[in-house]
Amino acid sequence: MSERKKDHYYRLAKQKGYRSRAAYKLIQINRKFNVIKKGYVVVDLGAAPGGWSQVAKEIVGEMGRVVAVDLLKIKPIDGVDFYRGDIRDKEFIEDLLASIDKKVDIVISDMLPKTTGNRSMDHARSIELCEHAFNFTKHVLRPKGNFVVKAFEGDLFNSYFNKIKENFRFCKAHGPKASIKSTKEIYVIAKHFKR
């Protein structure tokens, strides 16, 4: 059996019908920080194959809305609107901004750059995606809204973290249990946007 198949969260995700083991990271983040609530409008950046969007939709329920964005195609999920494109592409972002509500309650980003195996390059690319995620967030997030973003740890992390901290009342770096131990990923959990 491959390592992946032996993995607890991989098996759990299969059993429960989640499209990714990553679904459990969002479940754990939300249990601890209560960032997504019933009725919320959620934008999920880097959403494919859709595990986070499934979890977000379950939490927000009928009255809420989930907008999923990715470079890759996503198989439809009931109640989730999907926009395919590159978060770094200005034109795509302009179209996206024109078609979605500007009172988003939370932006979540699990975006991951194509990894090269070169740690500092992968880190720099991950922070670049985080910057794009925050630039987008500034345009759509309502006052007191929340933001969750994944980054690879490295020397650019602190200045990114400090920037987010300046813009939110609560800001914490967090490693969910469901993260694979050997990865250098860390999630920034930010609440209460100071718009």
Ligand X SMILES: C[S@@+](CC[C@H](N)C(=O)[O-])C[C@H]1O[C@@H](n2cnc3c(N)ncnc32)[C@H](O)[C@@H]1O
Please give the residue ranges that form the binding site for ligand X (CB under 6 A). Answer: 19-20, 22-23, 46-52, 69-72, 86-88, 110-113, 129
Nearer to ligand X among residue 64 and residue 194 (C-beta): 64
To ligand X, the closest distance from the beta carbon of 112 in angstroms equals 4
To ligand X, the closest distance from the beta carbon of 194 in angstroms equals 26
Catalytic entry in 25, 57, 150, 191: 150
To ligand X, the closest distance from the beta carbon of 158 in angstroms equals 23
Nearer to ligand X among residue 115 and residue 162 (C-beta): 115
Nearer to ligand X among residue 38 and residue 88 (C-beta): 88
Lookup: tokens for 83: 């926009």
Q: Burial-class residue 181 by CB neighbours within 10 Å (0-12, 13-18, 19+).
A: exposed
To ligand X, the closest distance from the beta carbon of 49 in angstroms equals 5
Buried/exposed 101-121: b ≥16 CB within 10 Å, e otherwise: eeebbbbbbbbbbeeeeeeee
Task: Look at the block and give the residue holding tokens 């490693």.
Answer: 175
DSSP 149-170: EEEE-STTHHHHHHHHHHHEEE
Lookup: tokens for 88: 């770094």
Nearer to ligand X among residue 95 and residue 144 (C-beta): 95
Nearer to ligand X among residue 50 and residue 154 (C-beta): 50
Separation CA 51–CA 13 (nearest Å): 9
Separation CA 42–CA 103 (nearest Å): 10
- How far from the centroid of its chain's Cα atoms is residue 95's Cα? 20
| 30: three-class secondary structure by DSSP | helix
To ligand X, the closest distance from the beta carbon of 179 in angstroms equals 11
Q: Is 172 a catalytic residue?
A: no
- How far from the centroid of its chain's Cα atoms is residue 85's Cα? 15
Q: Which residues are catalytic?
A: 150
